[in-house]
Amino acid sequence: MAETTLAMTDPAARRALSDPDAGSRAPSSAGGHGKKVAGQVLRHVVLIALAVLTITPVMMVVSTTLKTPEDVRVDPFGLFTSFSFRNIVDAWTVGRFSDYLVNSILLSVPSTALVIVMSTMAGYTFARLPFRGRTALFYLVVLGLLVPFFTFMIPLYFQLRSLGLLDTLPGAVLVLTSTGISFGTFFMRAFFAELPAELEQSARVDGCSEWQIFTRIMLPLVGSGIGALTVFTFLANWNNFLVPLLYLPGGEYRPLTTGLYMFTGGRSNDVGPLAAGTLITILPVIVLFIVLQRQVTQGFISGAVKG
């Protein structure tokens, strides 16, 4: 019993919880062999039905994107009834989704990098470098995690405007960074706190400076944490809707999310290019998720176990 309930506090158990593939312990079911097989088949049938239900909306995006414009007009949502790249071409050129894609990258990549660097540094401090007043600072970071973005998004708008950062790339990048650092600091702190104190001490005996202990000894050991945080933060920034909606109102630096939203408002009948724009928006997310699905789920799970 202790094993599992400890999951929240014990690092080893947390790791076990964080690892979606850990073990394959399952309850054995009673009954004869035939009954067992039938039960297993039935379960898989239910699971497959649920999986189809889950994936159908995503299939609709792909299907409508790949239709000919004529077919979209007649039967926009019938699955895979014709084939053409016209919608993608239209979305890319006329729909300006190529610009939106570039803007999404210009917003997500620097803000993710900043979150990772800053959170790793602060996380290490809160885990291993005590100084007077550190606890108070840590409470401030925790407060940042608790208070919803909503509370201060309106004053932040006027603050950015008075600083000349409204509707600028640096302004939006900084806000995106700020939305991720509280969580990132918390997250990285947990990883650094798990490392044994002996490592630090023996390095000190060997004459390493504190900076060297951080960069050469400790940093290489939290690679998995940095990896999970990177994917998690990148996805959050890529998908962020409210930040560009509020702080990039002009449209010059509009990313995919708000670009897509504006497209639905302006030309709601253009279902074909809209589908293509949606696909352009979600394709990087899907590819990243499938390639790094372990890191992503791990990031989300340990993210949830933060508190």
Ranges within 178-217 binding another protein (CB under 8 A) = 178, 181-182, 185, 197-198, 201, 204, 209-211, 214
Q: What residues numbered 90-109 form the site for another protein, per CB under 8 A?
A: none
Minimum Å distance from CB 163 to another protein? 9
Number of residues that bind another protein (CB under 8 A): 120
What gap in Å lies between CA 121 and CA 137, rounded to an integer?
14
Sole binder of another protein in the list 68, 149, 221, 251 (CB under 8 A):
149
Q: Which is nearer to another protein, 98 or 215 (CB)?
A: 215
What gap in Å lies between CA 20 and CA 250, rounded to an integer?
43
Which stretch in 83-91, 93-101, 115-123, 220-228 sits in contact with another protein by CB under 8 A? 115-123
Residue 65 in contact with residue 88, Cβ under 8 Å? yes
Sole binder of another protein in the list 38, 154, 199, 287 (CB under 8 A):
154
Which stretch in 26-34, 88-96, 105-113, 218-226 sits in contact with another protein by CB under 8 A? 26-34
Minimum Å distance from CB 200 to another protein? 10
Minimum Å distance from CB 301 to another protein? 6
Residue 30 as a binder of another protein (CB under 8 A): the answer is yes
Sole binder of another protein in the list 38, 89, 129, 199 (CB under 8 A):
129
Q: Which is nearer to another protein, 36 or 223 (CB)?
A: 36
Sole binder of another protein in the list 11, 69, 76, 251 (CB under 8 A):
76
Q: Which is nearer to another protein, 11 or 76 (CB)?
A: 76
Q: Residue type at 108? A: S
Minimum Å distance from CB 116 to another protein? 12
Which stretch in 84-92, 105-113, 129-137, 221-229 sits in contact with another protein by CB under 8 A? 129-137
Q: How many CB atoms lie within 10 A of CB 95?
A: 24
Residue 285 as a binder of another protein (CB under 8 A): the answer is yes
Which stretch in 92-100, 105-113, 218-226, 290-298 sits in contact with another protein by CB under 8 A? 290-298
* 223-239 helix and 293-304 helix, angle to the nearest 10 degrees: 90
Sole binder of another protein in the list 61, 91, 190, 222 (CB under 8 A):
61
Sole binder of another protein in the list 2, 34, 266, 269 (CB under 8 A):
2
